[in-house]
Structure formats: C-alpha cells, structure tokens
Amino acid sequence: MFIANCTLNKVIKHHGVHFLEKKHKQLIVGTSNKNDIIKLLGPPSTKGAFAEDLWIYIEMATSSSRLTRLGKKTLVNNNVLILDINNKGLLSKVTFLNKDNMNKYEFSNNTTQMSYTKDKFIYEFLKTLRQKMNDPLGTKKIN
C-alpha cells in the first residue's frame, strides 16, 4: 500500500537559537560585547531573574521520524548557553550545557515553608481573599 503523505526523512523541529553549540565558540571572553552577542545569537531567550546582565540562550530540537516509534518524539538537542556580562558590557563568563552534562546537576528537594501568624497583615489579607474566593456572594456561614 502506498501512503502519499508519509516521509522517511528525519523531521526535526527546532525551538530557540539554531546551532547554538557552534555559534557560542565564536564568542570571546573579555572581547565580545552585548552588540556582538546580539548580532551573532539574537536577543536572549530569557534574562536572569535577579541580574539583567545574565543572558540565557536555549536550543531544543526534537525528532519524530521513526515509524516504529509511532510519532513519539525523541530529544535530539537540548542546549543552554549562559552568558555573564560585566558592568562595562563585555562578556565575562560563558557556560554551555548540553543534554549530557545537564544530567550531572542535582536539584534540592527541600522547600521553603511560609509561616503566617494571625498577627500579621499579610495573613489577614490572604484570609479574606480566600474567603471571597470560596464564597463570592457571602452566603456561607463563617466559623
């Protein structure tokens, strides 16, 4: 049976900056500035939450080419480039992570507990907000 719309070629879907692994090698610490980085890689995928001079570039490529996998996607590339830029606008540090060395990092399972006591303004505010969400018409009995 001949199926016209099927292809045996590898179909790769990209997200982020293409060829990030090759492009980041052109950056020179202490010489490349913000304009050089934007010219080479474009605007950053995201910036640091606490520091505007921490630029993060992401590249992800998935493939779903094999007929035996029944359309399940496999991860081809998962690259992250972290650039630290100093106060003069020059590149000070480059960190490149791919899918192999990302698995070496362990994340803590500890969580931060928030403590609200009844004598705090925030506790009262959140309590009234919760009551309004649970009973928007004010018809339930308050305990």
| Every domain of the chain and the residues it spans | 12-102
CA distances from 7 to 65, 67, 100, 103, 108 (A): 8, 9, 29, 33, 43
Output the pLDDT for position 117: 58
Ranges under pLDDT 50 in the chain: 1
pTM: 0.62
Output the pLDDT for position 135: 73
Output the pLDDT for position 75: 74
- Give the tokens for residue 92: 């000070």
Residue 61 CB neighbours (<10 A): 17
Distance of CA 98 to the CA centre of its chain: 13
Output the pLDDT for position 39: 93
